[in-house]
Structures are given as C-alpha cells and as structure tokens.
Structure 1
Amino acid sequence: MAPIPTPAAQPDDAPGAYVGLDATSAERLARERGWSTVRALPPGAIITMEYLTGRLNFEVAEETVTRCWQG
C-alpha cells in the first residue's frame, strides 16, 4: 500500500487580518505571504466546500474583504 502523502504546510498567517482591506491589496498580500491559491467570492456565493491546503478564501463586497477563511 502506498504511503499517505503529507500535505504541505500552510502559511503562518491570520485570515482575520485581511478583513477590511481592498480585495486587490488583500490578494497581493496573501500571495506574498505564501498562499498558493486566493479565491475572491461575492457574498452568499454557492461554493464547493472541499478543503484545499494553501487556499485562502475572501468574501468581497463593494471591493472590500468582509470575511476570510482557509481552505
């Protein structure tokens, strides 16, 4: 049986720090801090809930990040 792969470490970052930033600046900062995928979503968007290591999700309303979470 093949060994179970070890997922890559996520950046040591606080998602709450992005709330209140404009979406463009928040995405740039997240990539600088090591997030491999950054996803901006409108409020109430229907999304799949699979957890992806290294992904940061932003809920963006009126070009401002209102919520942020990993995966």
Structure 2
Amino acid sequence: MAPLPTHSAEPDDSPDAYVGLPADRAERLARERGWSTVRALPPGAIITMEYLVGRLNFEVRNGSVARSWKG
C-alpha cells in the first residue's frame, strides 16, 4: 500500500482576524502568516466543500472581507 500523504500544518492564526480588512491587504497578510492557499470568493459563490489544509477562504463584499474560514 502507498503511504498516506502528510499535510503541512496550518498557521496558528484566527480567520476572524481578517474580517473587515480590504481584500488585497487580507490576502497579503494571510500569505505572510503562512497560509499556502488564499481564496477570495463573492457572496453566494458555489464552491466545493472539501477541506484543504493550509487554505484560507474569504467572502469578499464591496472590496472587504466579510467572512473568513479555514479549508
């Protein structure tokens, strides 16, 4: 059997810290803090629900982060 893949650890960072920030600043800050993938989404976007370690999602309204969550 093939070995199971190992995942890198997520940054010790709260997604709530990005809410209210301008989207471009939030994305830059998240990458600086170690998030490997940062995804900005419009409100109501249809997305897959798989959990991806190291990914941070932003719901962006009017250029600012309205909601943020891991995975």
Work out whether the TM-score is over 0.5: yes
For 2:47, the aligned partner's letter is I
The one-character-per-residue Cα deviations of 1:17-65 (angstroms, maximum 9, x if unpaired) are: 0000000000000000001110000000001111111110000000010
Counterpart of 2:59 in structure 1 is 59
Identity %: 76
Structure 1: gaps of 5 or more residues: none
Taking structure 1 as the reference length, what is the TM-score of the superposition?
A: 0.94
Taking structure 2 as the reference length, what is the TM-score of the superposition?
A: 0.94
Alignment of 1:1-71 (within 5 A): 1-71=1-71
Number of equivalenced pairs: 71
Structure 2: gaps of 5 or more residues: none
